[in-house]
Structure 1
Amino acid sequence: MAARRRRIIPIDRIRRDVPVFHDRRITQRRSEEKQKTRGSLLVSRFDTSPAKALTCAKPIARIPRFVRSGRRMFDRLSSLVIALTLIAIAAIFAALAGGDPPTIAMMAVAGFAATFTVYSALPPALSATRAQRTSPAETRPLSLLRHPDFARWVDQEKDPLLGVADNVVAIANDAAIRLLGRHIVGADIRTAIRHPLATEWLSRIDGDAPLETIDLVDYPRPGQRWTMRIAALSNGERIVFLSDRSAIDAADRMRSDFVANASHELRTPLAAIIGYVETLQDMNGEDDGATRRRFLSIIEREARRMQQLVIDLLSISRVEADRFRRPTAEVDLAAIVRHTITQLQDSESARPKDIVAALGTEAMPMLGDEAQLGQLAHNIISNALKYGRPGTPVTVELLREGARVRLSVSDEGDGIAPDHIPRLTERFYRVDEARSRSVGGTGLGLAIVKHISERHQGQLHIDSEPGKGTSVSISFPLAASA
């Protein structure tokens, strides 16, 4: 049996053919991918950077100029050759049909001339059309403000946000409409935000400007402050952010006032202590015992005043640190109030006979912090004892009102004017500075009461009438087991 001949393929042919086949498939696949992605948007995830604009994908590399020129020349020549060939064939058929040779020649010349004239006028337009079809057009950045993803992002922003195109407000979220009015969409941005500094910057910012932040003082009302950030996009559009800084400024002022008041409250008794100590040192034993005892009594009183101020500062700091943590332990408010009254009656500075308690015998269970509720009751009752007239009763009541319990403390003092009542819970606020110092108040008692009440979901109410006295009441929710 004859051996089967094996076909031997030269190795140089394999090396030449295989890459050609492989490259052809790769080229075809890449061409299809380019056709799919041509002109598509590169939409990345929107971030909070307002300067990030939405742009088109980079176009496919343009065909070299000499290649395009050669293609147009080839198109012209091939079309002209085809037209001349058709005219020549028509002339041959006319001659075979017995036509007059001079007439056939004239017809051929006229056809050549007509074909050349018509095609000379048409190729530029046809070539331009072919160039537009075969080469990518110049891409222009798409409008970020009109993209649906941008619109969704704008709606999710809580702060006012405006999209501006050619100084006209093209889009505004709900917060901006609430602040500036519904009429701002379609209006000039320089008139929509009515502030001199805003108008100046909005007129000056161009497409190449970086992110700018401007403070708008007394905007939109006196005493308020907003910040405006302007992000210029590459296609002439802008994004305007507005942020309310009024609450932050108020917190900063409150913090500064607190530090200043605390420093003042500590400096005053400290200065008195140092003064009396220096006086005693200068006497060199020449003073009598009564003067020395009086000076030492003043020093002790001022030192205890400083001690109480430090205690109150620490208390309000701890209460503020715990204000977001709701108490979970069940306590008896009636027992806490009874214990507080007993402590005040046993103290030397209290008026034990003036406290009239109407607490009843029923337990008042609630979820709370026993130490903080005891401090709350102590501050309210001690304030009534300090500012109530001696010999008049201080009434302490504990009443159940449905699912809540109300603690009420009333005195028969001089009372408080109505314009002072809203500020009584501010730190270091005093209606009568001289009287507060004489009775040893720190100005933090009701501020601590307010914070403890809020942590326990209480409702604080202060009612006072000049010349008749003051009533402070707090309503707390009872525990589920009550």
Structure 2
Amino acid sequence: MRIDDLSTLLSAIPLPTVMVASSERIVNSNRAAEEVFGAKTLGRHYITVFRQPVMLDAIESVLRGEPARTTRYLGHEGEREIVYSAHVAPISIEGEAGVLISFQDLTAQTEAGQMRRDFVANVSHELRTPLTAVLGFIETLQGPARNDEAARERFLDIMQKEASRMNRLVRDLLSLSRVESEERIRPMEPVALGALVTSSIRLLQSAAERAGVTLDFTRPEPDVELNGDTDQLGQVFTNLIENAIKYGGTGERIEIGLATQDYDRDLRGPAAVVTVRDFGPGIDPVHIPRLTERFYRVDTHRSRDLGGTGLGLAIVKHIINRHRGRLRIESGLADEGGGEEARSGDGHGAGSTFIVKLPLSS
């Protein structure tokens, strides 16, 4: 086949594709390949373009007359690593042996596989600890503490807490799975946002009183209405307010606000904005980008003691994504020296602010 004919063929292939002649130089490539390897690859020796040993071995063996081979090639897009499956096949170029190399992007599949492995490992780890504790206490109650009434009551209380922890984990896993399965389906149920936030506050009022926290809600009149899923949005506000009570309750006050904006830059249109602000110790900014990852905790021991599963903010993120909204987190640590930038006006900690932006109908 002539090179001109091969050029026409390559331009019709959507995958990045490169031709190497018997001279071991690149004689053609399509536009998709130029985006990956650059526009100045023609005429260069294939070693100077691909460089990776497994890739070079595959090209060399096919040029020697061996059958087609498939290997792995690692590229980069900025700081992100891209994984390609490279198929190296023999081809005749104007009567001489050559090689046609096509690249299929497997990054999404690779990342999804890694996420599944990480997820299974995390779930196993989260369940192993309470299961080990429960099994240990059962063994003790069946043996040395069989007739020890005080020990039995103490162990049963701990077993109840560990079983409740496993129940919360399973509940949150099911909730996360359900939210992820519905994430592409935009909800269209009319929701009164102020009434929904008020309901979440009422649900958590007793927990706030036990923690010595005052919940202050600034609610506009008339109420803000939008299209959404009432149950899921209620879950978002309940989770954020509950987290503020648990982790920012030392500030003794939580401010909850609801407002509207005629134009929000993040949503590129009118938006409803719900803010949950505490005055606790705050969060080191280094943690903020990862707070919505599954099982990510700033303080693992404290989170587990307070009944956290590490999935709450991941669920919040997916629900907000389903509503085509945005979640922003602003926080910082209190300055030990008492600097004004890190302290609130009343002497409490720097605190954290969680901002939920939801699109309003035009």
Distance in 2 between residues matched to 1:350 and 1:211, nearest whole Å: 70
Gaps of at least 5 residues in structure 2 are 263-269, 335-349
RCO greater where, 1 or 2, for CA within 8 Å and sep 6 or more?
2
Identify the match of residue 414 of structure 1 among 268, 274, 281: 281
Deviation at 1:273, TM superposition (A): 2.1
Query: What are the within-5 Å matches in structure 2 for residues 42-441 of structure 1?
Result: 142-143=1-2, 146-147=5-6, 149-154=8-13, 157=14, 159-166=15-22, 167-206=24-63, 208-217=65-74, 224-234=82-92, 235=95, 236-282=97-143, 283-288=145-150, 291-346=151-206, 351=211, 353-390=213-250, 392-402=252-262, 403-441=270-308
- Between structures 1 and 2, the one with greater strand share: 2
Between 1:466-475 and 1:277-286, the stretch displaced more is 277-286
Q: Normalising by structure 1, report the TM-score.
A: 0.64
The answer to whether the Cα contact below 8 Å between 1:411 and 1:470 also exists between their aligned partners in 2 is yes
The answer to whether the Cα contact below 8 Å between 2:250 and 2:281 also exists between their aligned partners in 1 is no
Distance in 2 between residues matched to 1:351 and 1:401, nearest whole Å: 33
Distance in 2 between residues matched to 1:444 and 1:172, nearest whole Å: 46
Alignment size in residue pairs: 334
Distance in 2 between residues matched to 1:315 and 1:144, nearest whole Å: 57
Q: Normalising by structure 2, report the TM-score.
A: 0.84
SS at match of 1:389: helix
Q: Which has the larger radius of gyration?
A: 1
Distance in 2 between residues matched to 1:219 and 1:408, nearest whole Å: 38
**Equivalent residue letter for 1:248:** Q
Fraction of identical pairs, as percent? 38
**Equivalent residue letter for 1:336:** L
The answer to whether the Cα contact below 8 Å between 2:212 and 2:252 also exists between their aligned partners in 1 is no
Deviation at 1:293, TM superposition (A): 3.4
**Equivalent residue letter for 1:477:** P
Gaps of at least 5 residues in structure 1 are 1-141
**Equivalent residue letter for 1:405:** A
Deviation at 1:168, TM superposition (A): 2.8
RMSD: 2.4
Deviation at 1:218, TM superposition (A): 7.0
Distance in 1 between residues matched to 2:274 and 2:323, nearest whole Å: 13
- Judged with a 3 Å threshold, the aligned counterparts in structure 2 of structure 1 residues 184 and 360 are, in CA distance, closer, same or farther, namely same
Deviation at 1:197, TM superposition (A): 2.2
The answer to whether the Cα contact below 8 Å between 1:145 and 1:151 also exists between their aligned partners in 2 is no
